[in-house]
Structure 1
């Protein structure tokens, strides 16, 4: 699954009882299950719950970090990218904007981004995964 990540914080190792559930080339642990006694915690490094507008606002707010990481040259460039994200949120069928931003339906469509959360909850309800 593709999902938005908006920070450079990275989990590199899990505590005892932790299991990595997802990874990508940039983040060795994207999702994890951590068990401690009878308790179970599921966590993700990315943000499937955020809309493109919220991602755009966060990107604009973190403009200095984006520039420091070499992802944009200046604040006007970051602002233009954020504006394109907001435009795509309003017009999700704009394949041209999605292509320019390097986004696919997994990020553009809110129901695709939140599907993983929905699947986790269904698995708990069905007894496939344990809950505390």
Structure 2
């Protein structure tokens, strides 16, 4: 993260990770969600899992040939 310029130090990365962990433990913490720029699509487990299921289903519908066409 530091090498990519997304954080200024390892401490910044660790602090961010602690906030993510805290939000995972207490998903109702709107203050952390706001600070991290996350909305219900990410913090609501049911919505998040539905999005992942939809993505995986879309990949299976595309199949190998469809995935290769996306890269072109």
- TM-score, structure 1 as length reference: 0.39
Q: Distance in 2 between matches of 1:69 and 1:105?
A: 28
1:92 matched to which residue of 2?
27
1:84 match: secondary structure: helix
1:101 matched to which residue of 2?
36
Pairs within 5 Å for 1:25-40? none
Matched, 1:73 2:8: yes
Q: Greater relative contact order: 1 or 2 (C-alpha under 8 angstroms, separation 6 or more)?
A: 1
1:114 match: secondary structure: helix
- Aligned-residue CA RMSD in angstroms? 2.3
Q: Distance in 1 between matches of 2:18 and 2:5?
A: 19
Q: Distance in 2 between matches of 1:75 and 1:105?
A: 28
Q: Distance in 1 between matches of 2:10 and 2:54?
A: 36
Structure 2 unaligned blocks of 5 or more: 64-72
Structure 1 unaligned blocks of 5 or more: 1-65, 121-128
Q: Distance in 2 between matches of 1:102 and 1:76?
A: 19
Matched, 1:113 2:48: yes
Which aligned runs of 4 or more in structure 1 are off by greater than 6 angstroms? Answer: none
